[in-house]
Structure 1
Amino acid sequence: MTSIGERLARKEDPRLLRGLGRFGDDQDRPGQLWMRVVRSPLAHGRLVSISKPEGAHVITAEDVPPGVRIPVRLKVQGIDLDDHLQPVLAADEVRYVGEPVAVVLADDPYEAEDLAELVQVDIEELPVTVDTADGTQAAEFELGYGDVEAAFGEAGHVVRIEFEVGRHSAVPLEPRALLADVDPASGALQIFGMTKVPVFNRDVLATMLGIDENLIHVHAMDAGGGFGVRGEFYPEDFLVPWLAWTLRRPVKWVEDRAEHLVAVNHSRQQKHVISAAFDNEGTLLGLKDDVLHDNGAYARTHGIIVPELTLAMLPGPYRVPAFHGRVRVMLTNKTPCGTYRAPGRFEGTSVREQLLDVAADQLGIDRVELRRKNLLTADELPHTRAMSTLGTDVVLDSGDYPGLLDKAMVEADRLGYLSRLESLRAQGHAAGLGVAMFLEKSGLGPQETADVTVSTSGAVRVHSGGTSLGQGIETILAQVTADALDIDPAVVTVINGDTVLQPFGGGSWASRSTVVGGSAVHRAAVAVRERAVRMASRMLEVAEEDLEIKAGMIGVRGAPGSSVSYADVAKACRPGSPYLGPDEPAGLTARRRFEVEHMTYPYGVHVALVDVDTGTGHVEVLRYLVAYEVGRAINPTLVEGQLLGGVAQGVGGALLEEFRYDEAGQPQAVTFMDYLMPTAAEVPRIDVLVAQDAPAPGNPLGVKGAGEGGLTAAGAVIAGAIRDALGLTGSVGRLPMTAERVRGLIEEGT
C-alpha cells in the first residue's frame, strides 16, 4: 500500500466544508471579558496623557510589567536589535499609526469598542519620517564571496538598474483572534490561537509572565490563511494572556480588518541599486547589489531576516563567480515589517530578473538564452556559496535548472503562449511575454519532533509540532505515516500545534512542514513499524526477517493464515503482557526528532502573458505558467494548490497591493477600498508543471518545500512581461505596476 504520491482528498475538508472548523473567533468561555486595543492616531509623538472614561477598565503601559518588549525570534548576523524592540504598550513615545497605547476590557465586544473610542490620547507631535533614506539605521551588513572588483574590472559589459519593491503584506481571509483562560483545576493558562510557532510563543510568554512553561497550554486553531504574518508574537499575544492570568478571568480579543491593515507585519519595501558584469559573450562574471530596506518603526520577531534572505538568495540559480551585497535596515514611522510568503526572495528575484532582461537587450542576446547560458548545470550541483542565512551555510543541493527552463518553454509553446502573443500583436495589442527563473529555500531546522502511536483499535495518532495554516499538513502527515506503516491513511489522525501533546514542535514557517515535520513523522512511524515487527516475531514465534507487512497486517512470508494486526501488537504492548520485556516501555508508540544542518533548495520558472491597455495603463494577465521542482510530491494536488494560491498573491503584489503613507505618516490604505487585492477577475488562467526530477538528498522523503514557489517570481515575470509589451529599453523601475505607473512609463516613452 503506497500513500506517498497519491492525490488523496484533504482530511481537513470534511470538517471545514461542514462548518465544523475550530477558528479563533469560535472559542468562547462563560464570563469572558472582551479586549479592545486603543491605537495611536499619529505616526510619531510624545505620549503626554491618556484620559480614561469613568468606570471603564482601561490598561496602559504603567499597569503592565515594566520593560516588556517583543523579542526577536530569528537573530541573524550577530546584530543586536535590543534598542529597537517594540513595547507591548507605548509608554513615552508612539512611532506609527496603529501602535497600541492602551486596552479596554468590557463584558461585551460592542461595549469594549464604544469605550475604546472614548479614551482620549494626548500626543505631542514629533517629526515624522516616511522616506526610507531619511530613517534611523538599525543595522547594516554585507554578504558575498569572490573578487567582485576584479570581476567588474574585467567585464566587457556592465549593466546597472535601480528597482524598488513596494510595501505590501498578507491579508488572510481570517484576521487574528486570541482567547486566554486559566483552568481552575490545574492552574494552567489555556491559550487558543498563536497558530504558527506555538511552542516558541509559549516559551516567550512564560518568560514574560515569569511562570513555568508547563503552566501554559497553547492550542493551535484552524486558520484562515497564514502567509508569514499570522502566529508571530505581537503585543496582543502578551496582553490577552497577561490579563487573563492577572484577573483570573477569560479574556478574548478579535482583530477587525481595519486593525489588521495597520497592526500586523507589513513586508517587502526595498530599494535596490544592482549591477551585473558580463564578458563579451554574455557570461556572468559578477553581481553586486546595494539595498535600502524599510523595516517600519520597530524590529519585531523576525528581526532583520528578510533583508538577510534578500542578499543570501539574490544570486539565485545562476553561476555567479563573485557577489557582493550590502543592506541598510532603516526604521521609519510606519507599521513594523516582518516576513510575507517568499520573504526576501520575491524582492530579490524581481530585481535580479529585471536586471537580466535589461542586460539581454543591451547585450543583444535572447533573454531565455542569456538565462540558460548562466544557469548552474546539474553537474555543478551541489554548489556551495560562501555565505550563510538563517544560521546555515548556503549549499544548493540537487537539481537541473536549465532542464526545467527548457521544459517550461516547451510547455508554454505547447499551450499556445507564443502563438497567442503573436496573434495579439498582429491585432495591434501591446502584449508581452515574461520569463523568470527563481531559487527557493525550504526545510529550515534545527529540528522537528513527532510522535506516532497505534492504539488497541488499530487507529493511529500523530502529534506534530507543525500547525495547520490551510496548507493541508494533516493530509500530508497522514500520508507519510500511512506509507511507512503500510496502512490506510483514513485510520490516521494528525494533531498539530498542541504544546502539551507535542512540547518540542518547531511550528510551520519557511516551507518546513513537510521537509522537517514530515521527516520527523516518517522517522517516528518507521520506529513504530520496527517495534511492531519485533513484537510480532515474539507473538508468532518466528524470526523478524521472516515477517512482512501488507495492508496493515504483519504476517509470515508464505503463510497467509499466520499474521497479526497493528491492533493486536498494540494490545501486546500493554503493561502485563507476556510479550513485553520487564524494562521495555509500554505502548506501540515512538517519539523521534529530525534535525537538519542545511536547507534544501527547490526552484522553478514562471512564464506570463500580459495585455497592456496603453490608454489607461491597465494590465491584464492572460495566461500564467509555473514550472516547479519539488523533489518529491507527497500529494501532487496539494502542491498544485499551493502554487495556484501563490500566483494569486503574486499578481496582487505585482499589480495592485501597496501600503502608501502621506507626509504625516498617515496610512492611505486602511480599507479594501484603497488596499486593492486581486479578485477572480484579475487572477489569470494558471497552468502548473510539477517536476519531481531532483529529490532532496538531505531528508528521507526527498521532498522540497512547495509553499512559496507560486509567489516567488510573480513580481519578476509580470514586470518582465510589461517591459516586453511596452518595448522598454530600461527597467520598469518598481512594483507594484499599478495602472498609474504603467501609464507613466507609456508617457515617458512617447
Structure 2
Amino acid sequence: MKKFGIGQAVTRTEDARLLTGGGRYTDDISLPGQAYAVFVRSPYAFAAIRGVDGADALAQPGVLGLYTVADLDAAGIGMLPCLSGLKQRDGSPYVATPRPALARGFVRHVGDPVAVLVAESLDAARDAAELVMVDYEERTPVTGTLEALEPGRPLVWDAAPGNLCFDWETGDEAAVEQALAGAARIVELEIVNNRVVPSPMEGRACLASVEDGTGRLVIHVTSQGVHGLRKQFSRIFNLPEERFRVVTTDVGGGFGMKIFNYPEYVACLFAAQALGRPVKWAADRTEGFVSDDHGRDHVSKARLALDADGRFLGLRVDTVANLGAYLSNYGPFIPTDAGSAMLVGSYTTPAVHVRVKGVFTNTQPVDAYRGAGRPEAAYLLERLIDHAGRVTGLGPAEIRRRNFIPPSAMPYATPMGQVYDTGDFRRNLEDGIALADLAGLPARKAEARARGRLRGAGLATYIEACSGGGPEQATVQVNADGRVVLMIGTQTNGQGHETAYKQIIADRLGVPPEDVEVIQGDTDRVSWGSGTGGSRSVPVGGAALAEGAAKVVDKAKPVAADLLETAAVDVEFADGRFTIVGTDRGVSLKEVAARAARDNPAGEGGIAFSEMARWTPPANTFPNGCHVAEVEVDPETGVVELVAYSVVDDFGTVVNPLLVMGQVHGGVAQGLGQALQERVVYDPDSGQLLSGSFMDYQMPRAVDLPPIAIKLNCVPSTTNALGMKGAGEAGAIGAPPAIINALVDALSDHGIAHIDMPATPETVWRAIRRHRVGLAAE
C-alpha cells in the first residue's frame, strides 16, 4: 500500500466521476411533487415596509403560497443566530441584531428577503413573484466602513448608536505605548482590506421536504457541514435535533460562505412544512451577489515601533470592520479573535495591542472567507513590515531576517496567546529568495525598463492558526469482504477529501482505494461532526480516522490470533496483514474480516468491525511559509501583469503533494483576485450594489496566473496526531501582500509607497499620473 499511503502523489479518486458528469450537487436532486421557491427581495438598501400585497400573485396559475415574516412569527419560527460569544472592552456583550428569515418592519440591504413565493414550476414562481407589491418607505442608507461611525450618519439599528456593534481589544496596551515612546523609529500605514464576494462555482441551493411517515423535516443543502446546521434548525424551529435530517452531497466550492445558515434555508423548510410538499430553491449568480455572505472589508491603521537596529519593539493596530446589516453566524469573531491573534506573524514582536470596532452598514452581512481573519492580519502585517524595510533602508528581506522567531525558540509563546510548536521561518525566506531568483531581479528590471515597463518583486511571509473548530469524529467500518466504509463528520467542498482519507486508510489498514467508500454530509448516516473550515478536515478528521483504524486493528488481532492459532500478543499488523512476530505466517485483514463477520451474530449486513473515534486537537497547528511575487506594470495604462510566482510552504506532514499543490494554486488565484481585481462596490448615496455581476466584478482567470513554483519545507507539527498543519487557506493568505509588495516595488521610482487593493489598472494609472503631475508642478 506504499504507493497509495501517506505522502504519495496520488491522483484524485473522485475526479473521474466529477469530470464525466457523475457529480450529484444539491440542484441535481429532485423529489416527487416538488414545488419551487422564489424570493421577493428588497430593491432598496434601507426602507420601512409599510405593507405587502400578494393578491395578484396568489391568483396566478400554479401558485401555492406566499409567506412573509408574519407567517413565520405565527408559527413560532425563531431568529437566525449569531454564534459569537464576543465581549466588548468593558465586558459588555456586543449589540445583537434580530435576524428573521424574512424581513420584519424594515429592509436593511439590497437583496434583503421580504417574502417567499412557492409555485408548481420555477417559471410560474418567477412570474408571480414579480406581481408581489411591497409598499416601501425609503430611508437614507450608510454603506461605507469608516462612514458608518461618522456623527450624523443614519442608524442601521436604533439599538446600535453610532452604528457601533462592538468596541473590542486584545493585547497589552501599556506595553505597546511604552514601546512607541521609546522607539528609535515609528512606521505607520493605513490599509484597506477590500470587500469581496466568495463566488464559488456552485451557487447556494436547498431542497426542503417533510419525510413521509415520520414528519421529520429534511433539507438537502449545499454546505460545509450538516451537523452545525441541524443544531441551528433545531433551535430556530424549537424542535429536537432528531426531528431534522440535513444532507449535503457534492459541493462545488465553499470558501467559508457555505458554513453559515441563511434565511432561504429556514424559509424553505417552513414552506415545505406549511405546504406538506418539497420546496426547492437555487440562487442564480446575481442573487448570489446580494445574498451570499461577503468577506473582508476592513480599514486599519497600524503603528510599528522599531529600535535603532530595526528590531520590532511593539505593534499597535486599530481596525474598523464592516459587519453588514445583520450579524452572520460568526461575523463578530472574524475580525477579532480569528485574525488578531495572528498579528504577531513570524516575528519576535514583544508587545501587541489591537482594537477593533465592528460597525453596521446597509450592506450584505460579512463573515468568514478563505482564511477567516488570518489573511486580513497577514496582509496588514506584511505590508507594514515591507514598508518599514523600505523607509529604514534595511530592505524587505533583511528587516524580516532580523525579527524572525528562530527554530531554537520553539515552542514559542507569542504575546497574543498562541504557542507556535515548530517552524523555520528564515529557511522559508531564503529558499523563497533562491526559488524566485531575486539575485537576477536587477537585470530583469533593466530589461523591462528598456521595453517601457516597470518590474518589481515582493516578499511576504505568513503563519496561520489552523485545525480548530473542535473535535472531529470518524467511524471506520470493515465489512465481511474486507471493504472499508468511512463515515466522517467533515464535508468536502471539492478539496479531495475522499482521496486523502483513502490514503490514510491505505496507510493504516493496507486497503486499496478502490475498496474504500467515504461517506460525509448526512446526519442520518454520520452521527456527529464539526464540518469543514479553517484547514481542519484532513488534519483533524484524518487524526480521528487514524485512531479509528487503530481501534479496528486492536479488535481484529484476537480474531487473527485465533486463525493463526497463537496468542494475540504475538500478532503484529502491517501492510494489511496480521503475522506472528518473527515469522512469515500470516492472514490478511480480508480473511480476518470474513471470520469476524461469520462469528459475530450482531454483524448485520456482513459488518466485521465498526469502530468510532473522536479526536480533539490539543492546540492549533501553524502552517507557515514565504511567497514571492514578481510583476510588470505598463505605466501608460496601469495594467499589472503577474509574471512570476514562487512559494515555499511548511504544511507539516503532507498526505498528498498533488492535493496540496492544487490548494496552493487555488489560494494564490483567489489572493490575486483580491489584490488586483475583485471589489464589491456600493453606491454611497443609494446603497445599490454596483458590482452585482461578473460584468462588473472581475474574477481571476487562468491567463492571469503564471506557472507557480512550489517548494515544501515541512516540519511536522507536534500538536497533531499525524504531524499535519493544514494547507487549504495558505495560498490566499500569502498572495495579497506578496503581490502588492511587488507592485509597490515596481512603482517605487514613481514615489508610490503604498497602494490599496484592488490595484486595478485605473487605480495604478491614477497613482502614476498623480506622481507625474506632482513632478511637473515642481
Please state if 1:110 is matched with 2:123: yes
Tell me the equivalent position of 1:16: 18
Give distance in 2, aligned partners of 1:534 and 1:422: 72
Question: Does structure 2 retain, via aligned residues, the 8 Å contact 1:356–1:367?
Answer: yes
SS at match of 2:522: coil
CA distances 1:244-303 after superposition (whole Å, capped 9, x unpaired): 223221111011000100101111111111010111111111111100111111111113
Structure 1 unmatched ranges of 5 or more: 388-392
How far apart, CA to CA, are the structure 2 residues paired with 1:577 and 1:108? Answer: 51
Match of 1:350 in 2: 379
- Deviations for 1:620-662, whole angstroms, at most 9, x for unmatched residues? 1111112111001100000000000011111110011111111
**Cα offset for 1:417?**
5.9
Report the TM-score, using the length of structure 1 for normalisation. Answer: 0.95
Q: Shift in Å at residue 681 of structure 1? A: 2.1
Letter of the 1:119 partner, please give it: V
8 A contact 2:435–2:709 mirrored in 1: no
Render the CA deviation track for 1:60-110: whole Å, top value 9, x for unaligned. 110113562211234334764563242210010110000010001011111
Change (3 A) 1:162 1:414: closer
Partner of 1:281: 309
Are residue 250 (structure 1) and residue 305 (structure 2) matched? no
Residue number among 721, 728, 731 corresponding to 1:710 in the alignment: 731
Where does residue 431 of structure 1 map in the other structure? 455
1:41 aligns with 2:36: no
- CA-to-partner distance for each residue in 1:322-380, whole Å, 9 max, x for gaps? 11110000000011101110122222222222211221122111210111111111111
What CA distance in whole angstroms lies between the structure 1 residues aligned with 2:439 and 2:371? 27
Distance change (3 Å), C-alpha of 1:260 and 1:720: same
Q: In the aligned structure 1, how far is the partner of 2:98 from the partner of 2:201?
A: 28
User: Partner of 1:378 in structure 2?
Assistant: 407
The separation in 2 between residues aligned to 1:523 and 1:730, in whole angstroms, is 54
2:455 match: secondary structure: strand
| Distance verdict in 2 for CA 1:417–1:477, change over 3 Å | farther
Aligned equivalent of 2:722, options 682, 697, 701: 701
Q: Is the 8 Å Cα contact of residues 478 and 607 (structure 2) preserved in structure 1?
A: no
Q: Residues 37 and 652 of structure 1: is their aligned pair in 2 closer, same or farther, counting only changes over 3 Å?
A: same
Q: Secondary structure at the match of 1:42?
A: coil
Query: How is 1:47-126 mapped onto 2 (pairs within 5 angstroms)?
Result: 47-52=49-54, 53-55=57-59, 56=63, 57-65=65-73, 66=76, 68-77=78-87, 80-81=93-94, 83-126=96-139
The number of residue pairs the alignment matches comes to 739
Matched with 2:158 is: none
Q: How does 1:432-511 map to 2 (within 5 A)?
A: 432-511=456-535
Match of 1:672 among 687, 690, 694: 694
- CA drift of 1:743 comes to 1.3
Structure 1 residues 180 and 339 mapped into 2: Cα distance closer, same or farther (>3 Å)?
same
Change (3 A) 1:367 1:555: same
Secondary structure (helix, strand or coil) at the match of 1:461 reads strand
Deviates more, 1:146-155 or 1:76-85: 76-85
- Which residue number corresponds to residue 556 of structure 2? 532
In 2, distance between residues paired with 1:14 and 1:157?
58
C-alpha change, 1:733 and 1:271, in structure 2 (3 Å) is: farther
Contact 1:98/1:259 (<8 A) preserved: yes
SS of residue paired to 1:734: coil
CA distance in 2, matches of 1:433, 1:422: 13
2: CA distance, partners of 1:213 / 1:521: 25
Aligned to 2:418, what secondary structure does the other structure show? strand
Three-state SS of the structure 1 residue aligned to 2:593 is helix
Cα distance between partner residues in 2 of 1:497 and 1:514: 15
Tell me: CA distance 1:418–1:381, structure 2 relative to 1, closer, same or farther (3 Å).
farther
Amino acid at match of 2:108: R
| Whole-angstrom CA distance in 2 between matches of 1:645 and 1:454 | 35
Instruction: Note closer, same or farther for the CA distance 1:256–1:686 as it changes in structure 2 (3 Å cut).
Output: same
**Alignment of structure 1 residues 292-691 onto 2, 5 Å:** 292-308=320-336, 309-387=338-416, 393-413=417-437, 419-557=443-581, 559-560=583-584, 562-574=585-597, 576-577=599-600, 587-662=608-683, 663-691=685-713
**Which has the larger displacement, 606-615 or 683-692?**
683-692
Among candidates 172, 185, 188, match of residue 213 of structure 2: 185
Comparing 341-350 with 565-574, greater Cα deviation is found at 565-574
Give the stretch that moved more between structures: 163-172 or 565-574: 565-574
Three-state SS of the structure 2 residue aligned to 1:403 is: helix
- Matched to 1:84, the amino acid is T
**2:494, 2:515 → 1: CA distance?**
21
Q: Following the alignment from structure 2 to structure 1, what is the Cα–Cα distance between the partners of residues 343 and 768?
A: 29
CA distance in 1, matches of 2:447, 2:403: 31
Q: Is the 8 A contact 1:412 1:418 kept in 2?
A: no
Query: What's the counterpart of residue 734 of structure 1?
Result: 756
Matched-pair contact (CA < 8 Å) for 2:631–2:746: yes
Please point out which of 723, 748, 766 is paired with 1:744: 766
- Contact between 1:194 and 1:201, CA under 8 Å: does it hold in 2? no
- Residues 515 and 417 of structure 1, relative CA distance in 2, 3 Å threshold: farther
Identity over the aligned pairs, expressed in percent?
A: 36
Q: Provide the rounded CA distance (Å) in 1 between the counterparts of 2:95 and 2:597.
A: 52
711-720 vs 325-334, which moves further? 711-720
In 2, distance between residues paired with 1:384 and 1:729?
39
Q: Distance in 2 between matches of 1:512 and 1:419?
A: 43
Q: What displacement does 1:216 show? A: 1.6
DSSP 3-state at the match of 1:468: coil
Spell out the pairing of 1:151-162 with structure 2 (5 A cutoff): 151-162=179-190
Conserved? CA contact 1:163–1:731, under 8 Å:
no
Distance verdict in 2 for CA 1:72–1:645, change over 3 Å: same
Q: Give the partner amino acid of 1:676.
A: Q
Alpha-carbon shift at residue 565 of structure 1 (Å): 2.5
Distance 2:697 2:595 in 1: 61
Which of 139, 146, 150 is the equivalent residue of 2:166? 139
299-308 vs 47-56, which moves further? 47-56
Give the corresponding residue for 1:5: 7
Contact 2:460/2:626 (8 A) holds in 1:
yes
- Give, in whole Å, the separation in 2 of the partners of 1:532 and 1:77: 50
Q: Which runs of 5+ in 2 are unaligned?
A: 149-162, 773-778
| Whole-angstrom CA distance in 1 between matches of 2:333 and 2:96 | 17
Q: d(CA) in 2 for partners of 1:576 and 1:462?
A: 22
Checking the alignment, whether the CA contact within 8 Å between 2:480 and 2:607 is kept in structure 1 is: no
Cα contact 1:148–1:287 (8 A) shared by 2:
yes
C-alpha distance after superposition, 1:686-725 (max 9, x if no partner): 2212222x11111111001100111102211111111111
Matched position secondary structure for 2:146:
helix
Q: Does the Cα contact within 8 Å between 1:575 and 1:586 map onto a contact in 2?
A: no
State the distance in 1 between where 2:177 and 2:204 align: 48
**How far apart in 1 are the matches of 2:645 and 2:445?**
13
The structure-2 alpha-carbon separation of the partners of 1:418 and 1:691, relative to structure 1 and needing over 3 Å to count, comes to farther
Give, as a single letter, the amino acid of the residue that structure 2 aligns with 1:723. V
CA shift, 1:490, in A, is: 2.5
Q: CA RMSD in A?
A: 2.0
CA contact (8 A) 2:643 2:706 kept: yes
Q: Is the 8 A contact 1:161 1:731 kept in 2?
A: no
Equivalent residue number for residue 390 of structure 1:
none
